[in-house]
Amino acid sequence: MIKASALLGQFQQAMAPRAEPSLTVLVLLELVAVFLALPLEDLGLWPFAARVILTIALFLIALVVVSQHRTSLVITVVAFTLAMISAIGRPHWRPTRIVYADIVAQFCLVAVLSWVVGRALFAPGRVTYHRIQGAIAVYLQLALLFQFAYLLVVVQSPNAFSPAIVLTESNSASKLLYFSLVTLTTTGYGDLVAIHPIARSLANLEAVAGQLFPAILLARLVTLELEHRRR
């Protein structure tokens, strides 16, 4: 245990100087995953090898971002390990257990990232380019968190949305991410509608969060900039 703790401390010290610049890479990878990888995968134009590489890259960048927070670092490693175990155990486990394991692992990973980046985003200090990147990252991560929540509802109730979301279809995750982004931005096309009470409640919560987050963020950034100029 002492040796493991020492190694963890050395890793944190080595990664600390890289944590802030890594936000640039994190935002770029998230943009690729959300707006490029998912639609191309639905069209059959995104190979499995590219998906694996993107997943590993996101995990490595997540490690760098949370490296200064020991608990977050441990949760990130555990979540990624759980995702790998669920992938390896796919031929042997019941489908429902695999889906739950995948969703919970991804939710924990994104939640930890959102917490760490969010704390840095709203912390005292000068408004920098990295802080703006953090805001973009957190906003995208909000959409992903609600997507995973909707997936859990669909696992329990397949008819939670209309038209129904079939988890066995390859584009089920991208459909719910689309619904999440549409709800977060309060666009509301109406082509995919929440029917289940919990799904509706989550959609209401996401719509409120989508309105409050930019307002609170702008107010905080203006306050930080004014405080910096007074000094």
Over residues 121-176, the pLDDT tens digits come to: 888 888 888 888 899 999 999 999 999 999 999 988 989 999 999 877 778 889 99
Q: How far apart are CA 175 and CA 190, in angstroms?
A: 13
* Mean pLDDT (the chain, rounded): 84
| Residue 13 placed within a domain | no
Residue located via tokens 């203006």: 222
Phi, psi for 162 (deg, rounded to 5): -130, 120
The answer to whether residue 168 is domain-embedded is: yes
Q: What is the pLDDT of residues 107-126, one digit of tens each?
A: 998 999 999 999 888 888 88
The reported pLDDT for the residue numbered 124 is 87
Range of the domain at 217: 2-8+18-230
φ, ψ of residue 161 in degrees (nearest 5): -125, 160
Q: How far apart are CA 4 and CA 215, in angstroms?
A: 43
Query: Secondary structure of the chain: what % helix, strand, coil (to 5)?
Result: 75, 0, 20
Give a yes or no: residue 170 inside a domain.
yes
Q: Is residue 120 part of a domain?
A: yes
188: left (phi over 0), alpha (psi -120 to 50) or beta: left
Under DSSP, is residue 128 helix (H, G, I), strand (E, B) or coil? coil
Q: Which two structure tokens, joined as six digits, stand for 7?
A: 């190694």
pLDDT(4) > 70: no
Q: Is residue 46 predicted with pLDDT exceeding 50?
A: yes
Burial 71-85 (b: 16+ CB within 10 A, else e): ebbebbbebbebbee
95-99, 144-148, 181-185, 208-212 — which is least confidently predicted?
Answer: 95-99
Q: Domain total for the chain?
A: 1
The pair of three-digit structure tokens given for residue 76, joined into one six-digit string: 């990130």
By three-state DSSP, how is residue 66 classified? coil
Residue 98's contacts (CB-CB under 8 Å, 6 or more residues apart) are 86, 89, 90
> pTM of this prediction?
0.86
